[in-house]
């Protein structure tokens, strides 16, 4: 059963809570950081038989992993199995030169920095504590610590944002020359205080999303980035000494590979099962202190569900999908209709036939995939 090559570790603690965020997070709780890191390592021991000895990727996400109390973070990173790519998420205000050096020493190969925006008025709407200068300083600390694979997260569709604001954000991000950029449409969950506060304006922003994405793709391509996934861009290999700078961890998700998730709220997908750990801290700590699996919800994953997911996610990539690998998940009539509309292209014959979204199809990718997948 030791076949899983991708590991996700969830570190939920944050210094504060941003109004728009719907991830499993906990504010503060400095006193719990050490026992949480120990619990994650106990969970790793319980699940280790699922993993290959050399992993391809590990992604330490949050929450704010770089907010974890220093000894707890160092101890955790040191105890993780070896992996070719080890990514950690960081909030700008937590990144000092000392932290950056520590991450490098701990074997981290890639840092994903949550910039979100470079406009003070938009950072304020998002409740962010980092100013644009703090974001830049964090980036330089990482570079000075010789990180050569840094990703920036930006959000667009923020209440009060204009196309000019978005262009300024893209310009500021590109000026830092990150290897990778993630551009997320703001998702505001109904019923939250954030949605209440910005209701009408969120509606206006939602209508502009497609135009925003066109702008994003246009600007980033001109700056030498490859639009390799709906929301993700990496420096073209030709500008990066031939390096493939895509997020290998996220590629594994998009290709429908198995992965193991550790920590509260973490999801795992292994063979014909998916489970999600309960998002509650105390029961997690208590179970693992006794070397028991934490409370979790398990669901069966029939092959047809995995196939549909593989098709849905695979179509987000800029590479053709082997038709045979998702056969049975697609609606043949819808495929022919979408081909006529020049939203999908089919190439090759029989066993070697592939499909991919056209450029136009990629801008409305979710709608196309929803129609295409039976």
Binding site for ligand SF4 (CB under 6 A): 14, 17-18, 21, 23, 25, 62-64, 91, 114
- Between residue 154 and residue 193, which ones bind ligand SAM under the rule CB under 6 A? 155, 184, 186-187
Tally the residues of the chain: 374
**Minimum gap (Å) between residue 112 Cβ and ligand SAM:** 7
- Residue from 131, 80, 74, 63 nearest 99 by CA: 74
Among 89, 93, 169, 179, binds ligand SAM (CB under 6 A): 89
SS3 content of the chain, % helix, strand, coil (to 5): 45, 25, 30
Among 39, 85, 114, 234, binds ligand SAM (CB under 6 A): 114
Element (H, E) at 198: helix 193-222
344 binds, among ligand SF4, ligand SAM, none (CB under 5 to 8 A by kind): none
155 binds, among ligand SF4, ligand SAM, none (CB under 5 to 8 A by kind): ligand SAM
**Minimum gap (Å) between residue 43 Cβ and ligand SAM:** 20
Specify the 3-state DSSP secondary structure of 200: helix
The residue among 125 and 186 lying less far from ligand SAM, judged by its C-beta, is: 186
The residue among 60 and 355 lying less far from ligand SF4, judged by its C-beta, is: 60
The residue among 61 and 178 lying less far from ligand SAM, judged by its C-beta, is: 61
73 near ligand SAM (CB under 6 A): no
Q: Which stretch binds ligand SAM (CB under 6 A): 41-49, 60-68, 217-225, 362-370?
A: 60-68
Beta bridge partners of 345: 356
153 near ligand SAM (CB under 6 A): yes
153 binds, among ligand SF4, ligand SAM, none (CB under 5 to 8 A by kind): ligand SAM
The residue among 262 and 330 lying less far from ligand SAM, judged by its C-beta, is: 262
- Residue from 42, 81, 46 nearest 60 by CA: 81
Cβ–Cβ < 8 Å for 49, 2: yes
The residue among 202 and 312 lying less far from ligand SAM, judged by its C-beta, is: 202
- Between residue 22 and residue 51, which ones bind ligand SAM under the rule CB under 6 A? 22-23
17 binds, among ligand SF4, ligand SAM, none (CB under 5 to 8 A by kind): ligand SF4
20 near ligand SAM (CB under 6 A): yes
DSSP states of 106-143: TT--EEEEEEE-S-HHHHHHTT----HHHHHHHHHHHH
Beta bridge partners of 160: none
64 near ligand SAM (CB under 6 A): yes
Euclidean distance between CA atoms 205 and 212, whole angstroms = 9
Question: What tokens appear for 256 in the block?
Answer: 């429908």
Specify the 3-state DSSP secondary structure of 273: strand
184 binds, among ligand SAM, ligand SF4, none (CB under 5 to 8 A by kind): ligand SAM
The residue among 23 and 212 lying less far from ligand SF4, judged by its C-beta, is: 23
Tokens 């939920």 locate to 12
Helices 97-105 and 70-79: crossing angle in degrees, nearest 10, is 20
Q: How far is CA 111 from CA 5, 36, 88, 178, 194, in A?
A: 20, 22, 5, 10, 28
Euclidean distance between CA atoms 364 and 346, whole angstroms = 18
248 binds, among ligand SF4, ligand SAM, none (CB under 5 to 8 A by kind): none
**Phi, psi for residue 54 in degrees, rounded to 5:** -105, 115
The residue among 246 and 308 lying less far from ligand SAM, judged by its C-beta, is: 246
187 binds, among ligand SAM, ligand SF4, none (CB under 5 to 8 A by kind): ligand SAM
Tokens 């980092």 locate to 130
212 near ligand SAM (CB under 6 A): no
**Minimum gap (Å) between residue 135 Cβ and ligand SF4:** 13
Element (H, E) at 366: helix 365-372
Question: What tokens appear for 29 in the block?
Answer: 């709780």
Q: Which residues bind ligand SAM (CB under 6 A)?
A: 20-23, 61-62, 64, 89, 91, 114, 116, 153, 155, 184, 186-187
């Amino acid at each position: 059963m030791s076949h899983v090559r991708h590991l996700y570790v969830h570190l939920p603690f944050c210094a504060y809570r941003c109004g728009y965020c719907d991830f499993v997070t906990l504010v503060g709780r400095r006193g719990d950081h050490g026992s949480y890191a120990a619990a994650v390592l106990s969970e790793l021991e319980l699940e280790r038989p699922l993993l290959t000895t050399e992993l391809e990727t590990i992604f330490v996400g949050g929450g704010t992993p770089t907010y974890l109390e220093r000894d707890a973070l160092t101890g955790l990173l040191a105890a993780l199995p070896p992996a070719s790519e080890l990514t950690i998420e960081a909030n700008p205000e937590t990144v000092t030169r000392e932290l950056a050096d520590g991450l490098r020493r701990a074997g981290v190969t890639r840092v994903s920095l949550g910039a979100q925006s470079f406009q003070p008025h938009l950072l304020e709407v998002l409740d962010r504590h980092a100013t644009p200068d703090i974001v830049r300083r964090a980036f330089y600390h990482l570079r000075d610590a010789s990180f050569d694979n840094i990703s920036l997260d930006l959000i667009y569709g923020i209440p009060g944002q204009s196309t000019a604001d978005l262009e300024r954000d893209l310009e500021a991000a590109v000026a830092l020359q990150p290897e990778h950029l993630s551009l997320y449409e703001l998702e505001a969950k109904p019923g939250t205080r954030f949605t209440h506060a910005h209701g009408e304006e969120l509606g206006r922003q939602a209508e502009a999303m497609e135009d925003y994405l066109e702008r994003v793709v246009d600007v980033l391509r001109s700056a030498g980035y490859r639009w390799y996934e709906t929301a993700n861009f990496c420096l073209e290999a030709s500008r990066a000494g031939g390096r493939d700078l895509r997020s290998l961890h996220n590629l594994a998700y998009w290709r429908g590979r198995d992965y193991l998730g550790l920590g509260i709220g973490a999801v795992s997908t292994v063979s014909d099962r998916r489970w999600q750990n309960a998002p509650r801290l105390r029961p997690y700590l208590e179970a693992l202190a006794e070397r028991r699996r934490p409370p979790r919800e398990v669901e069966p994953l029939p092959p047809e569900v995995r196939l549909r997911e593989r098709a849905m996610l695979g179509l987000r990539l800029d590479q053709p999908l082997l038709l045979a690998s998702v056969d049975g998940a697609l609606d043949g009539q819808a495929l022919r209709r979408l081909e006529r509309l020049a939203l999908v292209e089919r190439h090759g014959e029989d066993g070697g036939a592939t499909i991919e979204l056209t450029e136009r199809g990629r801008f409305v990718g979710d709608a196309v995939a929803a129609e295409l997948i039976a």
